[in-house]
Structure formats: structure tokens, C-alpha cells
Amino acid sequence: MNLRLVFIAVFAFNLLNAYQNFHGCCLAPDNLTGWIVTIDSMIVLKTTNGGVHWSEQQNSAAARKFFDITCWDNQKAWTCGILGEITHTSNGGQTWIHQIQGLAKYATRIEFIDDTLGWAVCGDGVVGKTTDGGTYWEQIFTPYAQAEFYGVSFINANEGWVVSGWPDSLAPRQGLIIHSTDGGFNWDSLYISPAYEDFFDIHFFNHTDGIVVGGNEQDYSPLIWKTTDGGNNWNAVSAPVNAFYLRALDFVDTLKGWAVGRFGTIIKTTDGGENWTRMDNPATQTLFDIDFSDELHGIACGYGMILYTTDGGENWHIGQVPGVKENSSSPLSDHIILNAYPNPFRNATNIKSEIRNPKSEISLKVYDATGRLVKSFSDIQCSMSNSVYAVSWSGTDDLGRKVPAGVYFVELSSAGETVKNKVIKIE
């Protein structure tokens, strides 16, 4: 099974379990208030405790599904989505108003540099701009009508950059980086990909230094590019092992930043993007967006998964959404913690469990997506007050045969309690 078939299998599995596709997120400067929107429904979720709990908000102004959401503070937020529709709240989401529809076939990313000046990038090479908080949006047609814009970064009222990609298209020449010096009315091309490079997000620190993230459609490898001359030249930056096709990027200052992508990828830099490390987290699905309010507090979202952190991403926790069940990682248990890393994996994954106050032996097993038992590990007797059990699974069954690429479930049982963690084996 190749990597593309694995992706399709994971996608189908999530649909069968009626997971929500959380696609855009934002966290306000108060570290507590945040919003998430979905691309498969007109649902807006809000948190008031930093992402721990989420509740649905009514957005009767929206007529189309969402791609992204941004906020300026804990009162003002904007959504964008299908048919270039934009809605806005100025009272924390108690009420939403419709600002515009028809910017393009969709608006994928929205950004404000204050509470009045903002841009929305769209399909069909369109950029929307407002100077009054969205009361009026100007539709700007760039020279790149075939471009599917996905990322935008302005450093002031005049200078900004936009990038494009086309997820799951397997078409070359979709990656594009363009630059404006007049607030977005005119654009010059800085780079057009000759191959299968897609760019999905961009961040500039000043008029010279910036970072682009994306991926290669052929093998889902991640792309991290850095420039020190305003985008005229780009240098590739090495991504961590087991990082994949990146979809979003966020920085809180000139040094600390994070990016997310396929197969639960979360990576972090503390030196302005020169070096990155992969952050262990419960997700194995695609993560579409990430947003930090400061260097400690952040949220991320993707297929059936909302995550939050309060320590800069060293530890990620699953946000609780009423009516949405997530089966791909350890349940919220006070007794057992179960993790696997790397995940996805090619050759081996390290399965680590912590049994708090153990009272009996534990059982560790691996099942495939159909529920068939693949691998059993020997039971052990826990005698310590807190027992840590670690084992490496090399992707073989009980007969020592290599299992095919696909989705598997690690199941650990102790004292009548069972937890599961989904892992993905790739070729």
C-alpha cells in the first residue's frame, strides 16, 4: 500500500466515524478565548479556557462552510470560506454579521494587522482587502488567475507576501510566491514552482526575513524555505524526520514558531526557523491550522482533533467538544497514559505507557483497521507506584512478518481499563 492509499484510508476511516473537519483556528491575546471553524459544516466553536473545552456558537450570518478564522482580541473575529464569504463578530461571537460573499470560489486564509486593516486570500488568484474592519472589502484580481492562494503575511500596510498550492491535485507548477509593496493592489512573482511543490503558509518578520512552509504532492515530504532578501532567493531548511507535508505556520516573535501538517505533524523552532524539532502529540490525522497567543499558549486543529498546549508545545492535550468522539489517541484517563513515537513510522515506533497506581498486570496488543489482532506483547506485572512500560514495535505480526502500510491501533489494558492509540505505518 503506497502513501497516497494510506492517506485515503485514513480519510475514509474518519468519515465513517463522523469526525468533524476542524480547519481554521485562532487564540486571542488573553490566552483563554479562541475559535475554531469547520470546512464540512457551518459550525463555529468557541473556548473560554484556552482550548480545554469547546462549545458551539450560532453564526446565523454564514450561508457557506468555512476555511479559516482570525481574531484581533477576545471580542473581534472574522471567518472566511466558500464563495469568498466573510462574517464578523465584535462581541465575542454573541452575534455575527455578514460582510461579503463572492470574493472568489473560496477564501482560504484571513489576516488582520490591526482591527481595521486586513486581507483574505482566495482561489482563482484573488485577494480581498479591507481598511475598515470589513465593512467594505475590495476584490483584487492578481495576474495569477490559476493560483489557489493559501497563505498571506503583511508586515505593514503596504508590504506583504502571498503563497499558493493545490492540495491533492498531483499537478505541477502550483507553488507560487508573490510580493506586493502597495498594500496588495499590485503583485510581482518571486517564485513559480516547476514541479510538485505546494506552499500553504508564509510568515515574514520584516521586509527581508521570511519563511514559507508546504509540501511535495508526490511523496508528502515537507517543505521549509527561508529567505533573507525579501523573497528573491530561498534556501531550503531541513525538516525533522517523520515530519510531513505542512499546512500552516505561526510565530509569536522572531525566534519561536510552530508548523503543522499531515499525519499529526507538529514541529517547532526556537531560532527563527533555522532548526526544527518534531513535537510529540496525540494526532495522527492532518492538522490544518495552528495559532499561539504567546510562547506558551497555543491551539491546533485538523481531522477530528482539537489540541491545546500551555507549555509551548512540549505537551499537547485533546480539547473536549460535545458530541465529537476522538478514537485515535489515548482517552482522557487518570490511570493510563499511552503514546507512540514516531507516528507515522516507517521502520519502528516506540510505544510508551505509564500506569499510575498500578494494581494488576498490563496487556499490550496491536490491531489492524479491521479489528484483527496483529501483535501481542507479553503481559508484565506492575509493582511500582508508577510503572513505565516501553516497547518498540517494528511493524511485524506475531509470526515476525512485516505488516503492510496502513492504520493500526495499539491497545493497552490494565485493572479493567483499556486505552487505544492510533498509529500509521508508511512505506
| pLDDT tens-digit readout, 218-239 | 888 999 999 999 999 999 999 9
State whether 394 and 298 are in the same domain.
Answer: no
Confidence of residue 120 (pLDDT cuts 50, 70, 90): very high
| pLDDT value for 388 | 66
Is residue 288 domain-shared with residue 346, that is, in the same domain?
no
Q: Which residues of 381-390 are buried (b: 16+ CB within 10 A; e: fewer)?
A: ebeeeebebe
Segment 262-315, tens digit of pLDDT: 989 999 999 999 999 999 998 888 999 999 999 999 999 998 899 999 999 999
Q: 318, 344, 367 — which closes off a domain?
A: 318
Is residue 140 included in any domain, yes or no?
Answer: yes
In a domain, 176, yes or no: yes
| 5: helix, strand or coil | helix
- Whether 217 is covered by a domain: the verdict is yes
Which of 255, 287, 318 lies at the terminal end of a domain, its last residue? 318
pLDDT at 260: 98
- Residues 126, 54 within the same domain: yes
Residue 358, pLDDT > 70, answer no
For the cut 60, the answer to whether the pLDDT of residue 100 exceeds it is yes
Mean pLDDT of 307-336: 72
Is 254 inside a domain boundary? Answer: yes
Give a yes or no: residue 13 inside a domain.
no
**280 against 383, higher pLDDT:** 280
pLDDT band of residue 15 (cuts 50, 70, 90) is very low
Q: Quick one: pLDDT band at residue 324, thresholds 50, 70, 90?
A: low
> pLDDT-based confidence at 326, cuts 50/70/90?
very low
Task: Tell me the longest C-alpha to C-alpha distance in the chain.
Answer: 69
* Mean pLDDT confidence for 81-87: 97
Asked if residue 76 has pLDDT above 50, the reply is: yes
Asked if residue 225 is part of any domain, the answer here is: yes
If one counts every other C-beta atom within 10 angstroms of the C-beta of residue 92, the result is 18
**Residue 101 sits in the same domain as residue 206:** yes
CATH number at residue 404: 2.60.40.4070
Among the listed residues 201, 222, 225, 228, the one whose alpha carbon sits nearest the alpha carbon of residue 267: 222
What is the rounded average pLDDT for all residues in the chain? 88
Domain with 52, as residue range(s), is 18-318
pLDDT of residue 371: 80
Residues 73 and 148 grouped into a single domain: yes
Together in a domain, 278 and 388:
no
**DSSP 8-state symbol, 264:** G
If asked whether residues 266 and 357 sit together in one domain, one would say no
Chosen domain end from 318, 348, 374? 318
pLDDT of residue 90: 98
Three-state SS at 3: helix
Per-residue model confidence as pLDDT tens digits over 141-197: 999 999 999 999 999 999 999 999 988 777 778 999 999 999 999 999 999 999 889
**pLDDT score for 81:** 97
Mean pLDDT computed over 368-376: 86
What domain count does the chain have? 2
Residues 154, 233 within the same domain? yes
Residue 5 has pLDDT above 60, yes or no: no
CATH number at residue 30: 2.130.10.10
In a domain, 1, yes or no: no
Residue 329 lies in a domain: no
Least confident segment among 27-31, 85-89, 195-199, 255-259: 195-199
Same domain, 87 and 151: yes
Q: Which residues 6+ apart lie within 8 Å of 250 measured at CB? A: 203, 257, 258, 259, 290, 291, 292, 298
Looking at the structure, tell me whether residues 177 and 309 fall in a common domain: yes
Same domain, 288 and 385: no
Burial state string for 218-245 with b = 16 or more CB within 10 A and e = fewer than 16: eebbbbbbbbeebbeebeebebbebbbb
Judgement on whether residues 114 and 255 belong to the same structural domain of the protein: yes
